[in-house]
Amino acid sequence: MSETPKKKLFSRKEIVEALRIYRFILPYKWQFITGMILLIITSGIVSVIPGGFGNLINAASPAGDALDKILAILKSHVASDIKLAQIQEQVTAFKSGINPEKIKDIGFLLGGVLLIQAVLSFFRIYLFEYVSQNAMAAIRRALYEKIITLPIQFFEENRVGNLTSRISSDVSQLQDALSNQLAFFVRQLVLPIVCIPILFTVSAKLTFIILGILPVLVVSAVLFGRFIRSISRKAQDKLAESNTIVEETFQSADMVKAFTNEAYETRRYGVINQAVAAIGMEAAKYRAGFVSFIIFAMFGTIVFIVYAGLNEVALHHIDMGKLIQFFILTIFIGSSLAGLSESYTVLQKTIGASERVNEILGEESETKVEDENLADPIKGTVEFKEVSFAYPSRKDIQLFNGLSFKVDSGQKIALVGPSGSGKSTIIKLLSGLYPFQAGEILVDGKDIRNYNITALRKNFGTVPQDVVLFGGTIRENIAYGKPSATENEIQEAARKAYALEFINSFPEGLDTVVGERGVKLSGGQKQRIAIARAILRDPKILILDEATSALDSESERLVKQALDELMKNRTTFIIAHRLSTIREADTILVINKGKIVEQGKHHELSVMDKGIYSNLLKLQYDLE
């Protein structure tokens, strides 16, 4: 039977993953290096302080040694041979042994050392915090930038709560390691290395007793760190899952209330929240047991050291000052070892967090933030040539197989068909949101895969059915189509979308806050803001996805006029269920099961016997 290979404290892969995160501190490397130097210096200063305390004790109480010498003389001579001069000399030493000047000098020296220690510690803490705050800001920005530039399928495969947890919880874990825990870990390693040689100079016998307990503590810390890492990773994942539920329910609060599912969601969150607590309690149980063991072992050792040390003093092997020095150094070493396991555990958690962060940072972006100004103008001719496509998550189900059609620049093309037929997918393929498996999609005769995707999308404008507004002001939401827009341009776009009247009716006007996802506005108001946003963008290719579906009759009439103006000299794709909105389209494509089954103008398709379009038209008339 082959032996299972022993796991190292940190594997090579783990170390590499952790060091990859530390690249974010490179712009602040000199502050970091200075902080490390100050950390080592302050650790060294700490190790000499116990010696100063020992000298202070000896300076204040040398009389005991003088008395011992007097007694030794008395015992070694008979009364007749006592030398009064020797006794007088020792008595004088006894009386003058306590030297106030020496005590004062040692006290001032200790005070100066402690002041230096305090000043250096201040700059060390400040420098580490400076590095960690700036590095974490860079990591959060890099992580957000990476996520926001990833393809749409990444968002389909990862829940929003998990992604926000990466930016919040995991980065916070890294910050703790870069600032506090890294300094503690280094200090806890440096202190024993510096203090143990000093212990040997004080008492080799007592030092060997201390070293007897060290292997037990170190091995226990390693074993505990390995075990707690898996539990901590599990707790982190569960916490991210619970955050996902919170975000989903808060974002869809209207749906929760519409279905009166407050109790259901509370129970659902309660179950996972209890699971997080259970994992936390499991980790706490093992951590508490380990800490209890450490406390028992360390304080038991300290009690034994005090006992053995007093015996050494009684046997005149060391003086009381040396014992005090040894005892303080022992406490330093003990506290370092006790904290070493906790720091090791935190660093293990940090490696887990760095792995998850690096995993996202290693994803391949579809766009680059610096490409935002590469907006090459296009004319708007679109052609699909034998395009085949299956969703990445459902590769075995072919949606399109040899899809072909052409739209000339400035034409209005309507996509009609039952739900799931592929209308919206055509737009997503044209926008480069999904990769297609075969064929070509040409814009102005050039394959979209040869375009800079950011430059291509700069030429698109969208008015969706389900309007997405951000939680800021109306001005910010309209300007989202063109962030550099002037006040006059925003006002004009709102006017053309017939939105200016209701905007001006608000006390704050364009500065009215729309609320989360535009909750403070009606459906029609949100729709017109989305239209104003598209007008401001001035796209070459316009996409209208049921753009008037949420409007009342009067608003629809006004907005239709605005859309008619907007669609002039632009290639326009209209996805429609209400067929009355596409009567004037240059071409209507009827999509069914991923294929174009009918093609023509409204008056041509409406009279086709047993045609899908004419049947849909009749059904709508019957419903109306």
What single string gives the DSSP state of each residue in 385-423? EEEEE--GGGTTS-SEEEEEEEE-TT-EEEEE-STTSSH
Check whether 203 has a pLDDT greater than 80: no
For CA atoms 481, 482, 483, 488, the dihedral sign is negative
pLDDT value of residue 87: 55
Q: Is pTM beyond 0.85 here?
A: no
Separation between Cα atoms, residue 229 and residue 351, nearest integer Å? 9
**Better pLDDT: 108 or 485:** 485
Q: How many CB atoms lie within 10 A of CB 417?
A: 24
Residue 476 is assigned to a structural domain of this protein = no
Which residue in 353, 105, 305 sits closest to 199, CA to CA? 305
Region of poorest pLDDT, from 29-38, 146-155, 300-309, 583-592: 300-309
Q: How many CB atoms lie within 10 A of CB 312?
A: 18
Region of poorest pLDDT, from 79-88, 120-129, 243-252, 596-605: 79-88
Separation between Cα atoms, residue 490 and residue 469, nearest integer Å? 16
**Better pLDDT: 592 or 317:** 592
**Apex CA 30: angle with CA 25 and CA 31, to 5°?**
75
pLDDT value of residue 306: 75
Q: Give the pair of three-digit tokens for residue 561.
A: 């006029």
Spell out the residues 6+ positions from residue 537 whose beta carbon is closer than 8 angstroms to its own: 461, 481, 482
Region of poorest pLDDT, from 129-143, 173-187, 348-362: 173-187
Measured CA distances, 327 to 51, 557, 615 (Å):
10, 89, 95
pLDDT value of residue 15: 62
Residue 443 is assigned to a structural domain of this protein = no
- Position 3 confidence tier, pLDDT thresholds 50, 70, 90: very low
Contact 529, 469 (CB under 8 A): yes
pLDDT value of residue 599: 87
Separation between Cα atoms, residue 150 and residue 313, nearest integer Å? 71
Q: Strand 541-545 relative to strand 460-463: parallel, antiparallel, unpaired? A: parallel
pLDDT value of residue 58: 64
Measured CA distances, 26 to 117, 182, 216 (Å):
27, 16, 38
Query: What is the signed CA dihedral for 387, 392, 393, 397, rounded to 10 degrees?
Result: 30
Q: Give the pair of three-digit tokens for residue 485.
A: 């827009």
Sheet holding 382-389, edge to edge: 400-407, 382-389, 438-443, 446-447
- Position 397 confidence tier, pLDDT thresholds 50, 70, 90: confident
- Position 62 confidence tier, pLDDT thresholds 50, 70, 90: low
Separation between Cα atoms, residue 24 and residue 22, nearest integer Å? 5
Structural domain count, the chain: 1
Separation between Cα atoms, residue 576 and residue 574, nearest integer Å? 6
Separation between Cα atoms, residue 30 and residue 41, nearest integer Å? 16
**Better pLDDT: 105 or 37:** 37
pLDDT value of residue 237: 73
Q: Give the pair of three-digit tokens for residue 387.
A: 């395009």
Residue 460 sits at φ, ψ, to 5 deg, of -105, 145
Which residue in 372, 425, 415, 367 sits closest to 596, CA to CA? 415
Check whether 377 has a pLDDT greater than 70: yes
- For 442-456, the pLDDT digits (tens) are 888 888 888 888 888
pLDDT value of residue 606: 79
Residue 293 is assigned to a structural domain of this protein = yes
Check whether 102 has a pLDDT greater than 80: no
Mean of the per-residue pLDDT values of the chain: 75
pLDDT average, residue stretch 263-285: 81
Residue 470 is assigned to a structural domain of this protein = no
| Cα 83–chain centre separation | 82
**DSSP letter at 11?**
-
Residue 335 is assigned to a structural domain of this protein = yes
Residue 281 is assigned to a structural domain of this protein = yes
pLDDT value of residue 261: 75
Measured CA distances, 271 to 63, 96, 116, 234, 323 (Å):
71, 76, 53, 16, 56
Check whether 9 has a pLDDT greater than 70: no
Which residue in 11, 8, 107, 93 sits closest to 55, CA to CA? 107
pLDDT value of residue 181: 65
pLDDT value of residue 624: 47
Q: Strand 460-463 relative to strand 382-389: parallel, antiparallel, unpaired? A: unpaired
- Distance from first CA to last CA of the chain, Å, rounded? 78
Which residue in 439, 433, 437 sits closest to 453, CA to CA? 433
pLDDT value of residue 2: 39
Q: Which spans in 61-99 are helix H? A: 63-76, 84-96
Residue 49 is assigned to a structural domain of this protein = yes
Separation between Cα atoms, residue 236 and residue 234, nearest integer Å? 5
pLDDT average, residue stretch 374-385: 77
Q: Tell me, what CATH number does 285's domain have? A: 1.20.1560.10
Highest averaged pLDDT of the listed ranges 34-43, 86-95, 228-237, 346-355 = 34-43
Check whether 504 has a pLDDT greater than 80: yes
Could you identify the residue written with the tokens 């009247």?
501
- For 296-340, the pLDDT digits (tens) are 766 776 677 777 777 777 777 777 777 777 777 777 776 676 666
For CA atoms 401, 405, 410, 414, the dihedral sign is negative
Separation between Cα atoms, residue 229 and residue 354, nearest integer Å? 13
Half-sphere exposure of 111 (CA within 13 A, CB side): 6
- Position 156 confidence tier, pLDDT thresholds 50, 70, 90: confident
- Position 215 confidence tier, pLDDT thresholds 50, 70, 90: low
Helix 320-361, helix 12-21: angle, nearest 10? 80
pLDDT value of residue 116: 82
Q: Give the pair of three-digit tokens for residue 152.
A: 């749409």
pLDDT value of residue 256: 75
For CA atoms 355, 182, 243, 518, the dihedral sign is negative
HEC string of 227-294?
A: HHHHHHHHHHHHHHHHHHHHHHHHHCHHHHHHCCCHHHHHHHHHHHHHHHHHHHHHHHHHHHHHHHHH
pLDDT value of residue 274: 84
Highest averaged pLDDT of the listed ranges 90-94, 309-313, 385-389, 542-546 = 385-389
The percent of residues in the chain predicted with pLDDT above 90, rounded, is 0
Which residue in 497, 561, 553, 558 sits closest to 530, CA to CA? 497
Measured CA distances, 75 to 63, 71, 78 (Å):
18, 6, 7
pLDDT value of residue 495: 86
Residue 478 is assigned to a structural domain of this protein = no
Could you identify the residue written with the tokens 């040692």?
106
The whole domain housing 248 covers: 26-61+98-361
